[in-house]
Amino acid sequence: MFYSSSFFSHFSLRSRFIILIAALVFTTTLLLGWVASRESAKQMEANIGNAASEAAYQMVDKLDRSMDARIKEVKLLLGIQALNNGTDTSLLREQLERLQDNHNVVSWIGFTDPEGVVQAATEGILEGVSIAQRPVFLEGRKAMWVGDVHEAVMLAQLLPNPSGEPLQFVDIATPVYGSNEQLQGVLAVHLSWQWAEYVQQSMLTPSGYLEDTEILLLSANGTVLLGPETLIDQSLDSLNHIPSSTTTAPQWAIETWPNGERFVTGYARSSGFEDFPGLDWIAVSRQPVATAFAPIEKLQDAIMGTGLLLALLFAIVGWIIASRLAAPLTRLANAADRMQDGEHADSIPLEDSSPELKHLSTSMRNMVARLLDQRSTINRLEDLANTDPLTGLPNRAFLNRYLKLAIPEAERNQQSMAVIFIDLDGFKQVNDELGHHAGDLLLIEITQRLKSALRSGDVVARMGGDEFVMVLKTKEEHLEMLTHEISRRLLSSIDQPVLLPDNEQARVGSSLGAAWWPHHGLHINTVLQLADDALYAAKAKGKHQLVIHSA
């Protein structure tokens, strides 16, 4: 700080002003460049995220449409005559195999009798075998049913498996009824899960698609059904933004995956399509953050580089312009500083070196004059708003503002406060017998007596009519003694006769109610209410006395 101060002390105010203007222009230009870079980055980030969520949506949409097509084909199978007569097993098998040949994703089709025994099947596999305990029969005999991905059980050793990996199926089953509406059996179709891999590959093969993007498919409970080999059958419940079962709109987020790597991750949940009700599959598209946001970093570098060059250019221009404006502006600034020392608005010089500076200096003089007038008016209005016009005491509005400031101050100083409500006894009688003018003169005199009982720093305010409130600050251990001492003075002082014009006299008493903060309540409004209640208790006990709230 010493060296910095010594360095700038060698420069004139003119030079400092020029340096300031140049620095402001330079900083502002850089800031604008940074803002533009940031907003552009946000837009690009949103576009990249939306592309990820769109990829997930396309994946799940293709799966839903493919499943819908398979279901429609199963429904068409119901029209096969051999299903309805249930007699020609070889003909039924031949028709089922013809359908299987047309769709390489169909691994097995079978037709059971009402008891679950397979009557006809492709390649004759499982014919004569009961599948009555399998979900494909138990659910399929009730209505059209689609089962989620599962490993083969009975077909594991019977179907060809060149890859050697466990076979997985998606099941479709439907009841078959005869002309008499009696259950003829169940038509069951096992779709190879390989068809989902075909859909996945179709998402990744188009040229120009997102670099390093992976497509995953999760079950309804978050288990990986399709994706990188290291994640298969793993649960991804740890991801924070997996959409709930009620969320069908695609969405995206930056997720930290179980391996600790961060990915731009798009989600889309299956909602079915036409005849396919959906299995709550969740398609996930992910791309490493470093890869996804690489274009953003390039854009930011380009914008900031351009911004830096513009900042230097504008700083030089600002330096030149500021050097011409510095002298008259410095004079105006010095004049404004002198005004703080009490000089009049006329002390601002009238700069006429240019129309703009002349207009500026004239406007400053007029503005300062108006501000001074407004300040004077505001001070007068504040006094009127916070003061009772008859007694000159603070009013209720002032008291409320005072208490808001007094509470924090008392807490800092470890003080407590006594609130005393004061009500004049017999004031209405004075008004009725001697007139309101006499009542006003009495209130003015009582006000002087209240002020004389105050200590420095205490406040008394008129709440309205013949009711007053006194606020005393002191240490907690002095609360009770101070309350009684001040109350004794008030009771004695107010009780003295008041001399009115024409040698008339008026006399009133007083009733006092007190409560302590924070002893009786942590909120000052509570204490005010308790003190008011204590005042009414004092009146009920015969008036002309003090009652302190007691819990």
Q: What single string gives the DSSP state of each residue in 40-95?
A: HHHHHHHHHHHHHHHHHHHHHHHHHHHHHHHHHHHHHHTT-HHHHH---HHHHHHH
Which pLDDT score, from 0 to 100, does residue 436 have? 86
Is the predicted pLDDT of residue 3 greater than 50, yes or no? no
Work out the percent of the chain whose per-residue pLDDT is above 70: 74
Question: Given pLDDT bands bounded at 50, 70 and 90, which one contains residue 526?
Answer: very high
Question: Given pLDDT bands bounded at 50, 70 and 90, which one contains residue 244?
Answer: confident
The CA–CA distances, whole Å, from 480 to 422, 433, 453 equal: 17, 38, 17
Choose the most confident range, by mean pLDDT, from 32-41, 114-123, 490-499.
490-499
Contacts of 511 (CB under 8 A, 6+ apart): 422, 423, 425, 535, 538, 539, 543, 544, 545
Q: Strand order of the sheet with strand 546-548?
A: 459-464, 467-474, 416-425, 509-517, 546-548
Which letter does DSSP use for residue 244 in this model?
A: P
Q: Quick one: average pLDDT of 375-382?
A: 65
Which letter does DSSP use for residue 223 in this model?
A: B
Domain 396-548, CATH among 3.30.70.100, 3.30.70.270, 3.40.50.2300, 1.10.287.110: 3.30.70.270
Q: Which of 440, 466, 495, 532 is catalytic?
A: 466
Q: Provide the β-strand partners of residue 472.
A: 418
Is the predicted pLDDT of residue 321 greater than 50, yes or no? yes
Helix (H) or strand (E) holding 551: none
Is the predicted pLDDT of residue 348 greater than 90, yes or no? no
Q: Exposed, middle or buried, 239 (CB in 10 Å: 0-12/13-18/19+)?
A: buried
Which pLDDT score, from 0 to 100, does residue 531 have? 92
Domain 210-289 grouped into CATH 3.30.60.50: no
Q: Provide the β-strand partners of residue 170.
A: 191
Is the predicted pLDDT of residue 378 greater than 70, yes or no? no
Is the predicted pLDDT of residue 65 greater than 90, yes or no? no
Which pLDDT score, from 0 to 100, does residue 2 have? 42
Q: Lowest-confidence range among 68-77, 184-193, 410-419, 501-510?
A: 68-77
Q: What single string gives the DSSP state of each residue in 105-134?
A: TEEEEEEE-TTSBEEEEGGGTTTT-B-TTS
Measure the CA–CA gap between 291 and 301, rounded to whole angstroms.
16
Helix, strand, or coil (residue 512): strand
Helix (H) or strand (E) holding 310: helix 294-339
The CA–CA distances, whole Å, from 29 to 299, 315, 324, 326 equal: 17, 9, 21, 21
Measure the CA–CA gap between 244 and 197, rounded to whole angstroms.
25
- 8 Å CB contact between 110 and 122: yes
Query: Which backbone phi and psi does 68 adopt, to 5 degrees?
Result: -60, -40
Question: Given pLDDT bands bounded at 50, 70 and 90, which one contains residue 1?
Answer: very low
pLDDT digits (tens, 9 = 90+) for 253-304: 878 877 788 888 888 887 777 877 777 777 888 878 777 677 767 776 777 7
Q: Which two tokens stand for residue 273?
A: 């399509």
Is the predicted pLDDT of residue 16 greater than 70, yes or no? no
Residue, of 276 and 463, whose pLDDT is higher: 463
List the chain domain ranges.
Answer: 210-289, 344-385, 396-548
Kind of pairing between the strands at 282-288 and 214-218: antiparallel
Is the predicted pLDDT of residue 545 greater than 50, yes or no? yes
Which pLDDT score, from 0 to 100, does residue 148 have? 75
Mean of per-residue pLDDT scores for the chain: 77
Choose the most confident range, by mean pLDDT, from 154-163, 247-256, 539-548.
539-548
pTM listed for this prediction? 0.45
Question: Given pLDDT bands bounded at 50, 70 and 90, which one contains residue 488?
Answer: very high
Which letter does DSSP use for residue 282 in this model?
A: E
Chain centroid to Cα 25, Å, comes to: 35
Is the predicted pLDDT of residue 437 greater than 80, yes or no? yes
Question: Look-up: residue for tokens 């500076």?
Answer: 357
Is 301 a catalytic site residue? no
> Angle at CA 104, nearest 5°, toward 101 and 105?
130
Which pLDDT score, from 0 to 100, does residue 128 have? 81
Question: Look-up: residue for tokens 């069951």?
Answer: 188
Which pLDDT score, from 0 to 100, does residue 395 have? 85
- 8 Å CB contact between 186 and 112: yes
The total of other beta-carbon atoms located within 10 Å of residue 276's CB is 22
- 8 Å CB contact between 288 and 259: no
Choose the most confident range, by mean pLDDT, from 177-186, 198-207, 431-440.
431-440
Can 210-289 and 396-548 be said to share one CATH topology?
no
